Chain A
Amino acid sequence: MIVMAMDSANQLTNSDAYKRRYWIGSIAFLILLIAWEVFARYSGWSANIFPDPLTVVSSLHELFINGTLLRHTVASLFRVTAGFYLAILLGIPLGILLGRLQFARWLINPIIQFLRPISPLAWIPLAMLWFGIGDKPAIFLIFLASFFPLVVSTTIAVYNINPTFLQVAANFNFSRLETLTKVIFPAIMPEVITALRLTVTIAWLVVVAAEMIAVQSGLGYLILDARNALRMDYVMDSMIIIGIIGLFLDGLMRRLGKIESAQWGSAAR
């Protein structure tokens, strides 16, 4: 009973603190907006070069109404999703393999450490040559950007699993499959979710850059196209949408971290 009462008390203060944090964060945005307005009005720059907030909002509305914004956003999100999922599908199993087998680690890790620091953007010429124009090169670049951090984080997470847990698994006659699903997966869950959270941000950074080169759609393309038309308000519109979606993706990943089975990491340490 006492435990339950304390739990609800905790939740109360947590939700209060959350609300306060939300408001403080909003104030910062408001200040930024005012600073922008003041600067646009008194800097002496023309609205073509530095559009004021109202112009940007009204053009945002315009892009939204005629469907341009939705089309490009969906195109970008599709590429990020495809590349990111591909990286998860290949990167996490490889990371588990590398974390478990010393030989595989010695064999493959040097290659990964060699390829990892090469910016995905350096692959653009090759990606275009190999995959042509369209979704494929962009997806490939997002895959590259997400794959290496995921492999490295998963490898480290698996390598650092408390050996006691693996001994318990052996002690209770766990099969290989059971060890994988009942021990390794849950044990690395907190670290992997943190890695996913960091990686999705990188993927989102890369998609915009990739779309400036190889494709005719997406928010990156929209920025490039708006620049060619000297429409800085459209450029800012795209930037705002990119920021909002980035915020949303991070929130999504954070929600993933709140799943009960993944929470032991933060609670137990």
Chain B
Amino acid sequence: MGSIKIENLTKVFMNRRNKPRSISDPDEQSGDAVLVLKDINLEFEDGEMVCILGPSGCGKSTMLRIIAGFDEPTYGRVLHGQKPIKESSAESIFVFQHSGLFPWMTVAENVGLGLRHLKDATEKQARINEYVEMVELEGFETYYPHQLSGGMQRRAELARALAVNPEMLIMDEPFSGLDFMTHMKMREEVVNMHEFLKKTTLVVTHDIDDALIMGDRIVVMSGRPSTVKLMHQLDFPRPRDFERDPDLSHLRSEIFLMLGVPYAV
């Protein structure tokens, strides 16, 4: 089960030492409490691709990290299936914004990370090959990450994530830093992958077009403290096209206005 239920999620960060300590009372609390996420309630269904949009610094990544088990909620809880998420596990694999590949391992070794408990070496090799082929990295198995382009690194990381057969994929800005063509191609690949595998996929992005093209549902979050501003089911057929689908195009304008960039409309 890859369903996620977020209940009253609130996150407060303590910014220590951003003010000089008071001389008269050194024990005075000198940090600022920053309310990042405020009372968020969301539900993601099994097999759904949800795109989370929001202005930069709004706490989308923080929410994602809490869902992944890297961070804890201050209040509220996140349920994965029936049980609360306590720590990070291979049930939900996180795809990092900047490469999370181990630079000291080859592509094949990285893809094999989640398969290391397989006793049968031939089966393990077959699984590695399968996922390397899925992301079209055949011939690069023995390359180290730094020998690959940015796009290839992302694909390798995707292969590593999928090879574990997780219940859920969590992607933090998966296309940031890629050139336009690579971005378009990667986006298509992620959509195809999702159509094919139907895994619960959470994608944080600041790119409205990405969210509208990819998502089964989009969630728009407000600036800090972050709350859910809009949740919208996207029932448009794929492949999606803004030109062909005036409703999609209209929704795009609305979201631009919502995020405070009317000039982009």
Chain A contact residues, CB within 8 Å of chain B: 164-165, 167-168, 170-173, 182-183, 186-187, 189, 261, 264, 267-268
Contacts and interface: CB of A to CB of B under 8 A. Distances in A.
A182 B105 CA distance: 9
Contacts of A267: 103, 144, 146
A170 B96 contact: no
Given A267-B144, A267-B146, A268-B145, A171 B102 contact: no
A246 B209 CA distance: 61
22 contacts: A164-B100, A167-B88, A168-B100, A168-B102, A168-B113, A171-B68, A171-B89, A171-B93, A173-B89, A173-B90, A186-B102, A186-B104, A189-B104, A261-B104, A264-B103, A264-B144, A264-B146, A267-B103, A267-B144, A268-B144, A268-B145, A268-B146
Contacts of B68: 171
B102 A172 contact: no
B90 A172 contact: yes
Contacts of B94: 167-168, 171
B70 interface: yes
Nearest to B157: A168
Contacts of B93: 171-172
A172 B89 CA distance: 6
Q: Which secondary structure dominates where chain B touches chain A? A: loop
B102 A167 contact: no
B66 interface: no
A186 B110 CA distance: 14
A189 B103 CA distance: 12
B247 interface: no
B164 interface: yes
B87 interface: yes
Contacts of A264: 103-104, 144, 146
B104 A170 contact: no
B125 to A, nearest CB: 18
A68 B7 CA distance: 80
Q: Which 9 A-B pairs have the closest CB atoms?
A: A186-B104, A264-B103, A170-B88, A268-B103, A268-B146, A264-B104, A171-B88, A173-B90, A168-B100
A172 B114 contact: yes
Interface in B84-129: 87-90, 93-94, 96, 98, 100, 102-105, 113-114
Contacts of A173: 89-90
Nearest to A261: B104
A193 to B, nearest CB: 13
Contacts of A187: 104
B103 A167 contact: no
Contacts of A164: 96, 98, 100
Contacts of A183: 102
B103 A170 contact: no
B183 to A, nearest CB: 21
A172 B96 CA distance: 13
Nearest to B92: A171
Contacts of A167: 70, 88, 94, 96, 100
Contacts of B103: 264, 267-268
A267 B146 CA distance: 7
Nearest to B89: A173
B145 A172 contact: no
Contacts of A168: 94, 96, 100, 102, 113
A172 B104 contact: no
Contacts of B105: 186
B97 to A, nearest CB: 9
A264 B104 CA distance: 6
Contacts of B144: 264, 267-268
Contacts of A261: 104
A167 B68 CA distance: 10
Contact of A171 (B90, B98, B104): B90
Given A167-B100, A268-B145, 13 more contacts: A164-B98, A164-B100, A167-B70, A167-B94, A167-B96, A168-B102, A171-B88, A172-B114, A186-B104, A189-B104, A267-B103, A267-B146, A268-B146
A222 B241 CA distance: 84
Chain A CB within 10 Å — which of B69, B94, B104 has the most?
A: B104
A4 B113 CA distance: 27
A152 to B, nearest CB: 23
A31 B9 CA distance: 74
Nearest to A3: B147
Contacts of A182: 102
A173 B116 CA distance: 11
Contacts of A268: 103, 144-146
A267 B106 CA distance: 13
A264 B143 CA distance: 12
